[in-house]
Amino acid sequence: MKVAKFGGTSVASAEQIKKVASIVAEDKERKIIVVSAPGKRSSDDTKVTDLLIQLGETLLKGEDTENELQAVLNRYEDIAEGLGLGKEIVATIEADLRERLQFDRNRPGACMDLIKASGEDNNAKLIAAYFQSIGLNATYLNPEDAGLFVSDEPGNAQVLPEAYEHLKALRDRDEIIVFPGFFGYSKEGSLVTFSRGGSDITGSILAAGVKADLYENFTDVDSVFAANPNIIDNPVKIKKMTYREMRELSYAGFSVFHDEALFPAFRNGIPVCVKNTNNPSSSGTMIIAEREYFMNPVIGIAADEGFATIYVRKYLMNREVGFGRKLLHILEDEGLSYEHMPSGIDDTSVILRQEQLTEEIEERVVARIQEELQVDDVYVERDFAMVMIVGEGMHNTIGISSRATAALTRANVNIEMINQGSSEVSLILGIHASDADRTVVELYHEFFGGAEETVQ
Amino acid sequence: MKVAKFGGTSVASAEQIKKVASIVAEDKERKIIVVSAPGKRSSDDTKVTDLLIQLGETLLKGEDTENELQAVLNRYEDIAEGLGLGKEIVATIEADLRERLQFDRNRPGACMDLIKASGEDNNAKLIAAYFQSIGLNATYLNPEDAGLFVSDEPGNAQVLPEAYEHLKALRDRDEIIVFPGFFGYSKEGSLVTFSRGGSDITGSILAAGVKADLYENFTDVDSVFAANPNIIDNPVKIKKMTYREMRELSYAGFSVFHDEALFPAFRNGIPVCVKNTNNPSSSGTMIIAEREYFMNPVIGIAADEGFATIYVRKYLMNREVGFGRKLLHILEDEGLSYEHMPSGIDDTSVILRQEQLTEEIEERVVARIQEELQVDDVYVERDFAMVMIVGEGMHNTIGISSRATAALTRANVNIEMINQGSSEVSLILGIHASDADRTVVELYHEFFGGAEETVQ
């Protein structure tokens, strides 16, 4: 069986939901359908989730919520109408929302979660109703009834191991299950949402729970691309990639997936397929455990900005057992997590995301390094970008780093840092943020210049 | 004024000592002469220091020392004879040695130091006597009388700050001072030797103490070479290099200097000149604080073998604040010092000198990393080499890393690790030890292929 998740744009309107229905209808294996809240119908549209946040904030301010409530209901009315459903479903949704608005306002976190999550929850009810109306044997299933139990951390719920036990039972259901994404329930019965990209997480958890043969993630792009389409005109489509490649790329700014959403599927070895609701015949991108790579050692190029470097120099540093540990301990004390730590003989630099490094923290860290480590020199530089070249074959293919660095030379970009050797699937180049786009373009041409339309 | 140090081969025979005398005579600025013990006269010869170690060991065993003593005296007799000196000086040396042999054998460390150090001490007396015999106004000076006070760590003496105060006075002496290298005295008056390369350290300390204009280090090569002459046929001579470059190169296997010998001169900004006793007209290699580098950003290439990698992988490692610190803490507990720690998103590898990593320690470290850090994977790989490309200009010169990696591609060498970005003066490439020589050759041709006989 397959678990299929449909993102916000895939369920934003009646027209879109009809596409979803035909996708579901055409493959009997698609037994569990996870849906998001209605997303944007056009670039200037507002997501239902954002309307719900406005509703929640008005409620928490203690102001009248009627207008905000109507704004939300209007979206569902449009959809229901377009799908030829009666007034009944909208009445159900209105009743549900009005009940949520009665929730204890002295628990703002839980209250906001409850209201936000209604976007997915009610959309699932509506879509289930539509499926039934066109003769599909479908039913809405509430996460609590399904036993999707999570930790009680509003906005950052973590699935509890026992949840998988409960979800396993869903394998035996005959009907198509329409399941709302984005939230679960604590053992105490309160609704708790996942972090951003939460519907991807729900789909991934369900796929793991029912041991699905495939987790289909329907979105509005044909596939994952080898580079950011905002920088490269119609970049190569990736046909097949590994979890590791996906993770390295999404770390470095690829936004297809919420970074950890894949984890449950990944840990259970369930393949993931990214597909386009608006072009379901396109094969999309398969994300799997292993792939052959001799044909194309490099699968994608990504860049992420906003990095800073703390540079430290001390004569005979490399003789001083414990220096690196003490240095990292200071950062840890200040709650800083670091990305890389290239080290020479008498110097080391720590590369970290600079949004962590407020002026105040920077001052304190620099002062502590000076005093506690008695260094000869310590300073901070900002506005670096990390460019990542990712591919399973990289580690065993001679010449990758030479091609990459040659490309940067052509682009007249100075390489501030090279990090190869830790990850077997990526080469990381540190450059000035202002050079990032130019670098990605040049690297793309180097590694995909001659490529046909798809890789792997 | 200049401090000139002459190494073992420069003072190994009468013939060599005559060369030293003419070098000293020809420049009035050469006021302080630091000498080693007589070294090898030919490749199959034995250094006096090694004869003295045999003498010391025989003594500590409580056996008869007459033969070993004679072996040492014979060397001095040959030299004295060759220099046309009377029996007197040899008698002085014999008396000195016989007195040392009376030292308390229950203090083996101090006893061995006392006997070893006699090699430099007596050679200084002999050379001073010769200088006088040819009319130079020269005198032997004992480190204790000069106030060269050190910490009481036999074989690893550290100079005490106050020593510099005492040594300053030497500026005012008119005569040429002949000073034995390799040892100083503790505040309690016992003789203590420096670590290996100790005469270089003595020279460096004296140069700093008298604020010399130049510290000349006379050895048996014309200069420092851009690469190991055992791998590259007559490599380019380095005319000028900075302390930083010298230090990075000597770290990576360049054996011109004992790693830390330069420190006192370096801290006092005293330029160092490496010259050849057998060819004093050759300008040698100057080691200075700064140099212009636009002409040749790369000054030398060195390789060092015997490195191991501890590879660690854990999903979401980069989210785990404190992971790196905990990892380094485990190594520290086991007394391991590391060289580099390249890190990816979910993995990090620690590169260290493998002689530290006994099977027993490896087992324990791997087990601890597994248990205490709950990693997904951890393993050790051995027999890597670190190849270092060194040059002040590297950091600001576009294309260095691209030329370097291209060279390795041509040599068909797989790059296991690249470390650039910490040190401004070096690029470090991790490769399999078996590829090291091939790599150095290819890199040498890349960066010095077209070079004239000398750089800078």
Is B249 within the bounds of a domain?
no
Those residues with Cβ within 8 angstroms of residue B153's Cβ, 6 or more apart along the chain or in another chain? B192
- Report residue A133 as tokens: 């109306």
Shared domain check, A215 and A307: no
**Does residue B116 contact residue B193 with C-beta atoms inside 8 Å?**
yes
Query: What's the rounded Cα separation, in Å, for the pair A451 and A185?
Result: 47
Shared domain check, A159 and A41: yes
pLDDT tens across B363-403, in order? 999 999 999 999 999 999 999 999 999 998 887 788 888 89
Is A252 within the bounds of a domain?
no
Query: What's the rounded Cα separation, in Å, for the pair B78 and B90?
Result: 10
Reply yes or no on whether the pLDDT at A451 is more than 80. Answer: no
Shared domain check, A193 and A332: no
The mean pLDDT of A296-320, rounded to a whole number, is 88
- Chain A to chain B, count of Cβ pairs less than 8 Å apart? 168
Shared domain check, B37 and B130: yes
- Report residue A310 as tokens: 């703390």
The mean pLDDT of B67-75, rounded to a whole number, is 97
Is A229 within the bounds of a domain?
no
Are residues B344 and A408, on separate chains, in Cβ contact within 8 Å? no
Are residues A318 and B251, on separate chains, in Cβ contact within 8 Å? yes
Are residues A409 and B416, on separate chains, in Cβ contact within 8 Å? no
User: Which residue stretches of B210-341 are H helix?
Assistant: 243-251, 263-267, 323-333
**pLDDT at position A252, please?**
66
**In chain B, which residue's Cα lies nearest the Cα of A338?**
B318
Is B287 within the bounds of a domain?
no
Burial class (CB in 10 A: 0-12, 13-18, 19+), B437: middle
Q: What is the CATH number of the domain that holds B420?
A: 3.30.2130.10
Q: How far is B364 from chain A (nearest CA, A)?
A: 19
Reply yes or no on whether the pLDDT at B180 is more than 80. Answer: yes
Query: What's the rounded Cα separation, in Å, for the pair B163 and B159?
Result: 7
**pLDDT at position A199, please?**
92
**pLDDT at position B379, please?**
95
Is A392 within the bounds of a domain?
yes
Shared domain check, B206 and B313: no
b/e per residue A207-238 (b: at least 16 CB within 10 A): bbbbebebbbbbbbbbbbbbbbeebbeebbbb
Shared domain check, B51 and B162: yes
Shared domain check, A307 and A163: no
**How wide is the angle at C-alpha A122 spanned by C-alphas A120 and A124, nearest 5°?**
65
Shared domain check, A199 and A89: yes
Among residues of chain B, what percentage have pLDDT more than 90? 72
Query: What's the rounded Cα separation, in Å, for the pair B417 and B385?
Result: 10
Report chain B's mean pLDDT, rounded to a whole number: 91
Which of A168, A189, A220 terminates a domain? The answer is: A220
Per-residue confidence band for B259, with pLDDT thresholds at 50, 70 and 90: low
pLDDT tens across B344-357, in order? 778 888 999 999 99
Reply yes or no on whether the pLDDT at A259 is more than 80. Answer: no
Write out residues 74-113 of B within 8 Å (CB-CB) of A: none
Reply yes or no on whether the pLDDT at A13 is more than 60. Answer: yes
Residue B322 to residues A121, A328, A365, B223, B317: CA-CA distances in angstroms? 39, 7, 16, 47, 10
User: Which residue stretches of B169-289 are H helix?
Assistant: 198-209, 243-251, 263-267
Which of B190, B220, B250 terminates a domain? The answer is: B220
Could you tell me if B156 lies within 8 Å of chain A, comparing CB atoms? no
Is A306 within the bounds of a domain?
yes
Per-residue confidence band for B438, with pLDDT thresholds at 50, 70 and 90: very high
pLDDT tens across A168-201, in order? 999 999 999 999 999 999 999 999 999 877 899 9
**pLDDT at position B261, please?**
83
Radius of gyration of chain A (CA): 25
List phi, psi (to 5°) of A183. Answer: -150, 160
Burial class (CB in 10 A: 0-12, 13-18, 19+), A57: middle
Of B60, B34, B43, B422, give the one whose Cα is nearest residue A309: B422
The mean pLDDT of B198-202, rounded to a whole number, is 92
Query: What's the start-to-end Cα distance of chain A, in Å?
Result: 25
With left for phi above 0 and alpha for psi between -120 and 50, is residue A374 left, alpha or beta?
Answer: left
Are residues A345 and B405, on separate chains, in Cβ contact within 8 Å? no
Shared domain check, B333 and B189: no
Is A90 within the bounds of a domain?
yes
**pLDDT at position B78, please?**
96
pLDDT tens across B231-255, in order? 999 899 999 999 888 888 877 666 6
Out of B344, B408, B422, whose CB is closest to A402? B408
**pLDDT at position A419, please?**
81
Shared domain check, A166 and A75: yes
Per-residue confidence band for B322, with pLDDT thresholds at 50, 70 and 90: confident
Per-residue confidence band for A209, with pLDDT thresholds at 50, 70 and 90: very high
The mean pLDDT of A408-436, rounded to a whole number, is 87
Query: Which residue range is the domain that position B399 belongs to?
Result: 300-455
Out of A316, A402, A417, whose CB is closest to B402? A402
**pLDDT at position A420, please?**
78
**Does residue A244 contact residue A392 with C-beta atoms inside 8 Å?**
yes
**Does residue B28 contact residue B56 with C-beta atoms inside 8 Å?**
no
Query: What's the rounded Cα separation, in Å, for the pair B381 and B386?
Result: 14
**pLDDT at position B398, please?**
83
**pLDDT at position A86, please?**
87
Q: How far is A353 from chain B (nearest CA, A)?
A: 12
Beta bridge partners of B217: B5, B274
- Report residue B254 as tokens: 């360049």
Q: How far is B155 from chain A (nearest CA, A)?
A: 18
Strands A377-390 and A426-432: antiparallel
Lowest mean pLDDT among A121-130, B195-204, B274-283: B195-204
Per-residue confidence band for B455, with pLDDT thresholds at 50, 70 and 90: low
Per-residue confidence band for B93, with pLDDT thresholds at 50, 70 and 90: very high
Per-residue confidence band for A297, with pLDDT thresholds at 50, 70 and 90: confident
The residue of B242, B345, B396 whose CB has the most chain A CBs within 10 angstroms, and thus the best one to mutate to test that interface, is: B345
**In chain A, which residue's Cα lies nearest the Cα of B401?**
A405
Query: What's the rounded Cα separation, in Å, for the pair B193 and B398?
Result: 46
What residue type is A178 in one-letter code? V
- Overall domain count for chain A: 2
Q: What is the CATH number of the domain that holds B12?
A: 3.40.1160.10
Could you tell me if B420 lies within 8 Å of chain A, comparing CB atoms? yes
Helices (H) and strands (E) in chain A, counts: 14, 19
Query: What's the rounded Cα separation, in Å, for the pair A68 and A56?
Result: 9
**Does residue B227 contact residue B239 with C-beta atoms inside 8 Å?**
no
Shared domain check, B305 and B200: no
Half-sphere exposure of A427 (CA within 13 A, CB side): 29
Of the two residues B263 and B452, the one the predictor is more confident about is B263
What residue type is A368 in one-letter code? R
Max avg pLDDT among A111-120, B237-246, B444-453: A111-120
Reply yes or no on whether the pLDDT at A455 is more than 70. Answer: no
pLDDT tens across B98-156, in order? 999 999 999 999 999 999 999 999 999 999 999 999 999 999 999 999 999 999 998 88
**pLDDT at position B278, please?**
96
Reply yes or no on whether the pLDDT at A452 is more than 60. Answer: no
Could you tell me if B260 lies within 8 Å of chain A, comparing CB atoms? yes
**pLDDT at position A296, please?**
75
Q: Does the annotation list A65 as a binding residue?
A: no
Among residues of chain A, what percentage have pLDDT more than 70? 96
The ipTM value here is: 0.75
Max avg pLDDT among A178-182, B337-341, B414-418: A178-182
**pLDDT at position A58, please?**
96
The residue of A248, A422, A432 whose CB has the most chain B CBs within 10 angstroms, and thus the best one to mutate to test that interface, is: A422
pLDDT tens across A322-335, in order? 888 999 999 999 98
Reply yes or no on whether the pLDDT at B421 is more than 70. Answer: no
A367 CB neighbour count, 10 Å cutoff: 11
Which of A196, A220, A244 terminates a domain? The answer is: A220
Could you tell me if A156 lies within 8 Å of chain B, comparing CB atoms? no
The mean pLDDT of A372-400, rounded to a whole number, is 90
Out of A311, A346, A417, whose CB is closest to B420? A417
Strands B338-340 and B347-353: antiparallel
Reply yes or no on whether the pLDDT at A456 is more than 60. Answer: no
Reply yes or no on whether the pLDDT at B451 is more than 70. Answer: no
Is B412 within the bounds of a domain?
yes
**In chain B, which residue's Cα lies nearest the Cα of A414?**
B398
Shared domain check, B103 and B202: yes
**pLDDT at position A256, please?**
62
Those residues with Cβ within 8 angstroms of residue A191's Cβ, 6 or more apart along the chain or in another chain? A110, A113, A114, A117, A144, A183, A184, A185
